[in-house]
């Protein structure tokens, strides 16, 4: 008789325990999903920023692909590019693309004027860029983000190729 009276109570308690376990599992799964989504979104943003920076620099190189117009030099926090241009008025203009203070920057100035890395226009946040001239006009561009991830691309400077 004692078992019959408590049977309903035991049944209700076990049902409540199962429902509570289900609710807790659901909350845990939602939290795990949010964390995974945030990580994926952050990685995609970092990858997008690196790809954008590399694409920008690649385009600049391709636009200035003439003999003697592209120079690779150590600037500020690493290697950078100097793109030289001679105007119709006889002025020598340089566009410098480099990494300084956690961002890829660009600065266009008269070639004879002094250059200060902090004066450049910030293009995108990045920890470093590396520019390497390889054989036969092949340039490797590497961009590294602040999280340590990196991406690279290659550009062929036809003006530097040996035929």
Would the pLDDT of 2 be above 60? no
Predicted pLDDT of residue 5: 65
What does the buried/exposed string (b/e) look like for 108-144 if buried means 16 or more CB atoms within 10 Å of the residue's CB?
eeeeeeebebeebeebbebbbbbbeeeeebebebbbb
Radius of gyration of the chain (CA): 29
How is residue 95 annotated by DSSP? E
- Of all residues in the chain, the percent with pLDDT exceeding 90 is 41
- Please tell me which residue, 160 or 15, carries the higher pLDDT value: 15
Q: Which helix (H) or strand (E) holds 84?
A: strand 78-86
- Please tell me which residue, 96 or 9, carries the higher pLDDT value: 96
The three-state secondary structure class of 60 is: helix
Contact 127, 78 (CB under 8 A): no
pLDDT tens-digit map of 81-136: 999 998 888 889 999 999 998 889 999 999 888 888 888 999 888 888 889 988 88
Mean pLDDT taken over the chain: 88
Task: Measure the CA–CA gap between 74 and 153, rounded to whole angstroms.
Answer: 19
């Amino acid at each position: 008789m004692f078992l019959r009276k408590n049977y309903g109570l035991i049944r209700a308690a076990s049902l409540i325990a199962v429902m509570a376990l289900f609710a807790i599992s659901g909350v845990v799964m939602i939290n795990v999903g949010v964390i995974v989504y945030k990580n994926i979104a952050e990685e995609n943003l970092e990858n997008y920023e690196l790809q954008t920076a590399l694409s920008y620099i690649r385009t600049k190189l391709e636009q200035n692909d003439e003999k003697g117009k592209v120079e690779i030099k150590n600037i500020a926090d690493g290697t950078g590019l100097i793109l030289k241009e001679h105007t119709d008025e006889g002025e020598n203009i340089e566009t410098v693309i480099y990494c300084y203070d956690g961002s890829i920057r660009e600065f266009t100035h008269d070639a004879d004027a002094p250059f200060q890395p902090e004066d450049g226009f910030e293009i995108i946040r990045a920890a470093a860029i590396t520019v390497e001239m390889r054989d036969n006009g092949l340039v490797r561009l590497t961009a590294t983000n602040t999280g340590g991830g990196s991406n690279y691309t290659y550009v062929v400077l036809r003006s530097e190729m040996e035929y």
